[in-house]
Amino acid sequence: MCSWANKLTAYIDNANLLLQKSDRNGAAIETAKAAELLFVEAKKAANAATKKKLTLRASQLLETSLLLRDEIKSKRTPANSQPQKTQILSQRNQQEKSKNSNDENDPPVFSRGSTLTFADVAGLDEVKSTLMQRVVLPFRFPDKLLIYGLTGGGGMLFYGPPGTGKTLLARAVAGELGLPFYLIKSSEILSQYYGQSTKNLAALFEQARNEPDGACIFFDEIDSLAKRRTDDMHGATLQLLTQLLQELDGVGGRDGRLVFLAATNTPWDLDDAILRPPRFCEKCYVPLPDEPARRAMFEIGLKKCIVDADLNFSELVEISEGLSGADIINICERAKLIPFTEAIQTGVDRPVNANDFKKAMQNIKPSVNKESLKKYENW
């Protein structure tokens, strides 16, 4: 979930808690902060529908803040009561909660994602070997674990620069095991309603446990849910972290048919408790692609289109050093768009050539700098 959405959740949670304590002034301030945040994000939004939605919600929150301040000025209510106007915030929360079908009596249903195999993932041979040894084989042969006194279960954390294939690896693990794959974004768990995030997390693991043959759960950007604890951490955030730790303890023990995978671009932000075995039995660094991996990525990116016979893949591999897998995919798409556009204008189809790639790579900068790479390698 994006950082502004986390802030919004915190502001609204704080406002509701302050209302429960009859602190209308504090609730008005927190609600105004939430409104201001949404107005700022509405201005940034590129999509017209998103802009309209954020602006509407911001206006509602601003109105609530003003009503709370009016009540304070008029002193129409005793300190130990909660009048109708100060209930507007919680009423609107309940209305939106109902619209989203995210009510306490209607737990969320998480959809399954598509899977791959290791053969579909270019490069990363060392990482795939580790996954085979620590995750795939123990799951496939639990009887052999007993013979050698080994303990299965536990999770696997992928960390490294963005765009290096961490999600693809998770899909491949699920595909190798033939398990249902739950790709979970933090936005599917986090909620602006107090206590709902914890319930969402519990519902996810409960749904996975009910899969007859087991399941593979993958959390993208796990740091959004398991950030390092601080003295000023919000109570709801701490509650969610505690729930996640308890669920992961189950994966390492009673839930032997669950495979838990997670990815992060900022492993140093994770809470120390989640990094301890058996919650994560292994931490896998997913680096930038090496030469063979980059070549495979270019070949895959051009597999379904016509390519000039003189296109030099070795040259492409050389000039793409330091780029992530996502960067290379982006370059391939940009290169293919050039002859595609020409074909529409001229009616003549031509293959993708070296000049297309030269144009596509203009102004492309590596997603990760050398300082960041060093930080990953030292972690």
Residue 149, strand partner residues: none
Report phi then psi at 312, rounded to 5. Answer: -95, 105
CATH code for the structural domain at 291-378: 1.10.8.60
Mutual angle of helices 88-99 and 48-74, in 10-degree steps:
150
For the 118-285 domain, the top CATH level (class) is: alpha beta
Amino acid (1-letter code) at residue 113: G
Along the chain (379 residues), what's the average pLDDT of each consecutive run of 10 residues? 74 80 82 84 76 77 76 55 45 46 62 90 90 91 88 84 92 94 91 86 91 92 89 81 87 71 93 86 90 91 91 94 90 94 93 95 81 84
Quick check: helix, strand or coil at residue 285?
strand
pLDDT at 287: 92
CA 274 – CA 166 distance, rounded (Å) = 19
Share of the chain residues as helix, strand and coil, in percent rounded to the nearest 5 = 60, 10, 35
pLDDT at 74: 62
- Any long-range contacts for 87-94 (C-beta under 8 Å, 24+ apart)? 88/63, 88/64, 89/12, 89/15, 89/16, 89/19, 89/27, 89/31, 89/61, 89/64, 90/16, 90/19, 92/60, 92/64, 93/12, 93/16, 93/192, 93/193
**Interacting residues of 133 by C-beta distance below 8 A, sequence separation 6+:** none
pLDDT at 106: 62
Core vs surface per residue 81-116: b (16+ CB within 10 A) or e: eeeeebebbbebbeeebeeeebeeeebbebeebebb
Question: pTM here?
Answer: 0.68
pLDDT at 378: 83
| Identical fold, 118-285 and 291-378 | no
DSSP 242-276: HHHHHHHHHHTTT-TTEEEEEEES-GGGB-GGGGS
Closest residue by Cα to residue 289 from 193, 205, 180, 373: 373
Let me know if 300 is exposed, middle or buried by CB neighbors in 10 A (0-12, 13-18, 19+): middle
CA 58 – CA 64 distance, rounded (Å) = 10
Write down the domain spans for the chain: 3-99, 118-285, 291-378
Quick check: helix, strand or coil at residue 156?
strand
Tokens of 278: 């058996």
Mutual angle of helices 325-346 and 291-301, in 10-degree steps:
30
Give, as one character, the DSSP assignment of residue 170. Answer: H
Tokens of 48: 């017209």
CA 129 – CA 131 distance, rounded (Å) = 5
